């Protein structure tokens, strides 16, 4: 994952869906009244107007964000994934651009205004366009048509040759130039550095104090690193707003390694990347039709065979709500509390489908049933989280 880095049961606080009387009663019994995740006596997650606050920061974002990794990347996301028939007559680069912009516009139109990108999403060396540049262009073009409020998160790459707090500010200013923005809502350390992590954290605090970022976070941090980062920033009076980690129904390591519990305890929002397991939880892959490219190494026909009982139940539950497997899988994450999923939308139809994960809720029984079925599937290892 380093080479292509991106991007316990809780309470779901979505509006109730009209259900048959018996089922509505079960839902009410399973889901307690709305509450906020707290750190001591301090409320750290607030929900209003469809938004959640990132940790103890002043930044509020939509309950579902959009990951922009695939917009700039041309290696991990193979070309066959970009098949919008409306633009097939265009060149590949033109098609990617139009589909990515359509994904952006559809996200805005459907109330998802939180976008996550990174300086390493897309590299000119691989013939790609940087995701930050694309996102910045989309925002500018949309702003010319109407006034919109967009929350942008991007990341600092802890590359081995970057030293000291100054490297964070330098990288951030280049990201802001690509985005065409004077500040971003959230700036994150993309992964733990081999060395220099204390300096990187000081750099985040410097950026926060200079008003270049409204909130700071980390990504791919295990529990110990997370607690250390929280403590160091706290000494500067800077809240650690978020930890972005791999989290999905079939990759529940944050529940098992203490990261989710630590986030809840410390008042840090967990941002979930790969929330539909790189497309596997959409149901489009089967043992007979596995994904191609790098994902094929993880999601093998053998793995997909073991996944089928869970996928069958996801489809059954989704059918009872009129929802797709993708929407059920994303809703399952929002039902954990203090979690903001950021699925990657490569086109408008995907963005619109993601929006359908909001405004309703699985029952507590359904949440736990899916977790139980998922336990039967061997977990996926992510070495970066063990560093």
Task: Enter the tokens of residue 1.
Answer: 């994952």
Residues 6+ apart with CB under 8 A from 319: none
Q: What is the structure's pLDDT at 209?
A: 98
Q: What is the structure's pLDDT at 96?
A: 79
**Which one, of 190, 142, 180, lies nearest residue 387 by Cα?**
190
The alpha-carbon radius of gyration of the chain (Å, integer) is 20
Q: Is the pTM of this model over 0.75?
A: yes
**Which one, of 187, 165, 166, lies nearest residue 176 by Cα?**
187
56 in Cβ contact with 238 (< 8 Å): no
User: Quick count: other Cβ atoms within 10 Å of Cβ 53?
Assistant: 22
Q: What is the structure's pLDDT at 308?
A: 96
Question: Helix (H, G, I), strand (E, B), or coil: what is residue 346?
Answer: coil
Dihedral sign (CA 237, 158, 179, 358): negative
Dihedral sign (CA 354, 31, 16, 59): negative
What is the pLDDT tens value at each position of the chain, 387 positions in all? 333 333 333 334 343 333 333 333 333 333 333 323 333 333 334 455 789 999 999 999 999 999 998 785 544 434 444 444 444 445 556 887 899 999 999 999 999 999 999 998 876 444 457 899 999 999 999 999 999 999 999 999 999 999 899 999 999 999 999 999 999 999 999 999 999 999 999 999 999 999 999 999 999 999 999 999 999 999 999 999 999 999 999 999 999 999 999 999 999 999 999 999 999 999 999 999 999 888 888 899 999 999 999 999 999 999 999 999 999 999 999 999 999 999 999 999 999 999 999 999 999 999 999 999 999 987 566 655 554
Question: Helix (H, G, I), strand (E, B), or coil: what is residue 158?
Answer: coil
Catalytic residues: 121
Residues 6+ apart with CB under 8 A from 223: 257, 258, 259, 262
Rounded Cα gap, residues 341 and 117, in angstroms: 14
């Amino acid at each position: 994952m380093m080479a292509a880095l991106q991007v316990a049961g809780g309470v779901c606080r979505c509006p109730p869906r009209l259900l048959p009387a018996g089922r509505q009663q079960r839902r009410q019994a399973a889901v307690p009244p709305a509450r906020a995740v707290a750190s001591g006596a301090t409320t750290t997650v607030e929900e209003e107007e469809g938004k959640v606050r990132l940790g103890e920061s002043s930044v509020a974002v939509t309950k579902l964000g959009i990951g922009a990794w695939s917009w700039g990347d041309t290696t991990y996301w193979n070309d066959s994934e970009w098949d919008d028939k409306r633009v097939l007559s265009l060149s590949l680069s033109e098609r990617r651009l139009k589909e990515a912009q359509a994904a952006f516009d559809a996200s805005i139109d459907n109330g998802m205004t939180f976008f996550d990108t990174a300086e390493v999403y897309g590299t000119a060396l691989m013939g790609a366009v940087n995701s930050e540049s694309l996102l910045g262009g989309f925002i500018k073009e949309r702003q010319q048509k109407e006034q919109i409020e967009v929350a942008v998160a991007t990341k600092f790459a802890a590359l081995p040759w970057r030293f000291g707090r100054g490297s964070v500010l330098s990288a951030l200013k280049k990201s802001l130039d690509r985005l065409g923005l004077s500040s971003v809502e959230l700036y994150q350390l993309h992964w733990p550095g081999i060395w220099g992590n204390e300096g990187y954290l000081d750099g985040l605090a410097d950026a926060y104090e200079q008003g270049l970022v409204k909130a700071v976070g980390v990504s791919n941090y295990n529990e110990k690193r997370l607690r250390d980062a929280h403590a160091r920033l706290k000494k500067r009076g800077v809240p650690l707003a978020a930890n972005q980690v791999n989290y999905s129904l079939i990759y529940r390591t944050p529940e098992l390694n203490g990261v989710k519990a630590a986030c809840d305890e410390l008042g840090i929002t967990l941002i979930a990347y790969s929330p539909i397991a790189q497309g596997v939880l959409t149901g489009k892959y089967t043992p007979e039709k596995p994904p191609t490219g790098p994902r094929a190494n993880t999601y093998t026909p053998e793995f997909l065979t073991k996944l089928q009982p869970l996928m069958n139940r996801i489809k059954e539950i989704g059918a009872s709500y009129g929802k797709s497997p993708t929407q059920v899988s994303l809703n399952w994450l929002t039902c954990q509390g203090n979690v903001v999923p950021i699925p990657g939308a490569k086109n408008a139809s995907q963005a619109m489908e993601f929006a359908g994960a909001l405004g309703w809720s699985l029952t507590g029984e359904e949440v736990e049933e899916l977790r139980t079925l998922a336990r039967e599937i061997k977990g996926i290892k992510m070495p970066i989280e063990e560093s």
